[in-house]
Amino acid sequence: MYGENGAQMRTELAALLRQHRVMHRLAADSPTERAEVGQEILRYRRTLLTWCAQAIRVAQPLTFPNIPQKPADPFRATSDHGAAMSELVRALELARDQATTTAASSTALATPSLNDVVEHWRLAARAAALAEHDTAPDLAVHLTASQARTIAGDVAAISQALVVLDRRYRNTPGWESLAGCDRLGWAALATALDVSLGQPDFSVDQTGWRPRTKPIRGPAKPGVLGVLQAEHNLLVRLKSIPNAMNLRLIVDSQRLLTSQLVPYAERVDLDLAEQWRARAATYSRIQRELRNVGGRLGNGAGATAEASNAVSRMKALPAGAVIEPRMLGGFQTLFRRIDERISDVLEAGVERGAFVQRVTVPRLVSGEGRLVQPVRERFVPVTRPADLEVIRTARKHLRPRAEPAVASPGASRVDLHAALIHRPPKKGAQSDVPGL
């Protein structure tokens, strides 16, 4: 996820910016050792630069200049398109291409270092390498203009940090300064100012690569945890579309599980108990409406088994058990996702013709000259999903409403901005806090 990797980069760079006398931190007194450590840092810096150049390229097409639009000829391309941003792209690409040191290898990125300074650089570089996943062009097609502005702001802050650190490490033996360092610093500043004119959208932190969700294997966990485990596994197994009968079993399990959880929730959180009561009622309704839906396409045997596990483990729970709020929250999160997935399954099943509607026998075919008259039609495909009552219920009651995402800049951004202008405390300065 971009939020995690971006925060890691910023945290490590902020820590580096707070270290002022770096020379003695690199190695005790040996210039050769200092040169070696310097080369290691240069490799990590190259990885950071590579990410910065890639990310700003991804954000650039979506960042528009904040200057008022002229009544321009729409057939002519605007040349002053995000001037500060273009300059930052140019400066970053120059710095990356002119660096003679190679980027750090994956072995180097994964091997911890004993030196504190190098370790901060390594962690920042590792986060940058991982962030290449998050800002890869194929994921970036979903970016909005405000999200792109946030990425541009982040790249500007990180570039500024690299410029400050470059100056600080200049005396290291064999150090290679950033090409066009001053220009990069000014371009980063101009981009940061340009970004601050608009409204950045920090929901970009939630985007990017995520590891695949896997089922929790192994024996059943004791108590409520076992129910949570089965419910989680049910959600994972619901990835494949179940057939109509298995879907009915899954819906039944959710109705039972929710109604059995209500008394436990009532002791801790009344609002949640009320929500779950409504959920049980919705599932009862869906169960009723699914009786006239058939279809043999799909499987869902794994999901059905997990659903049954959840119900049987719930039944085995002692009546006096207390479910703590954190676990109730876990159930609520899983319930939301399962509701959403079941809504998707219903819609997709009807759309693909996997679920058909049972109808009352319309007529018997007579006069075909056959001895036995078979029943004519018992299933009809659904022409429009909304014609089916169960789909209307799922849309209206089951599908959870989108929760407004609270996107804040996060502590790491504030911390890096503060670290950029950090000054070392004066020698002999009295601390406000009395010493012990």
- In the complex with another protein, the residue whose CB is nearer, 44 or 264, is 264
**Residue 433 touches another protein, criterion: CB under 8 A:** no
**Residue 294 touches another protein, criterion: CB under 8 A:** yes
- The answer for residues whose C-beta is within 8 angstroms of residue 424's C-beta and 6 or more apart is 20, 21
- In the complex with another protein, the residue whose CB is nearer, 68 or 374, is 374
**Residue 284 touches another protein, criterion: CB under 8 A:** yes
**Residue 255 touches another protein, criterion: CB under 8 A:** yes
- In the complex with another protein, the residue whose CB is nearer, 374 or 435, is 374
**Residue 289 touches another protein, criterion: CB under 8 A:** no
Stretch that binds another protein, among 102-110, 205-213, 255-263, 384-392 (CB under 8 A): 255-263
Say if CB 141 and CB 56 are below 8 A apart: no
**In angstroms, what is the minimal distance from the CB of 390 to another protein?**
13
Strand ranges across the sheet with 379-381: 293-294, 356-358, 379-381
**Residue 92 touches another protein, criterion: CB under 8 A:** no
- In the complex with another protein, the residue whose CB is nearer, 294 or 400, is 294
In our burial notation (b when 16+ CB lie closer than 10 A, e otherwise), range 185-219 reads bbbbbbbbebbeebebbbebbebbeeeeeeeeeee
**In angstroms, what is the minimal distance from the CB of 8 to another protein?**
47
- In the complex with another protein, the residue whose CB is nearer, 165 or 307, is 307
**Residue 319 touches another protein, criterion: CB under 8 A:** no
Give pairs for 192-199: CB < 8 Å, separation 24+.
192/153, 192/156, 192/157, 192/160, 193/84, 194/63, 194/65, 194/66, 194/82, 194/84, 194/85, 195/63, 195/149, 195/150, 195/152, 195/153, 195/156, 196/153, 197/66, 198/66, 198/146, 198/149, 199/146, 199/149
- In the complex with another protein, the residue whose CB is nearer, 343 or 357, is 357
Burial class (CB in 10 A: 0-12, 13-18, 19+), 404: exposed
Q: How far is CA 89 from CA 33, 105, 338, 436, in A?
A: 34, 24, 43, 51
The token duo for 72 is 């321009």
Max distance between CA atoms of the chain, in angstroms, equals: 111
**Residue 295 touches another protein, criterion: CB under 8 A:** yes
Q: Which of residues 163-202 bind another protein (CB under 8 A)?
A: none
**Residue 298 touches another protein, criterion: CB under 8 A:** no
Say if CB 208 and CB 136 are below 8 A apart: no
Size of the site for another protein (CB under 8 A): 29
- In the complex with another protein, the residue whose CB is nearer, 56 or 293, is 293
Q: Which of residues 346-405 bind another protein (CB under 8 A)?
A: 357-361, 364, 372-375, 378
Q: Which of residues 210-249 bind another protein (CB under 8 A)?
A: 243-245, 248-249
Stretch that binds another protein, among 149-157, 208-216, 294-302, 428-436 (CB under 8 A): 294-302
- In the complex with another protein, the residue whose CB is nearer, 203 or 259, is 259
Query: Which stretches within 213-299 are classed as H helix?
Result: 224-237, 244-266, 270-290
Residues binding another protein (CB under 8 A): 243-245, 248-249, 252, 255-256, 259, 280, 284, 287-288, 291-292, 294-296, 357-361, 364, 372-375, 378
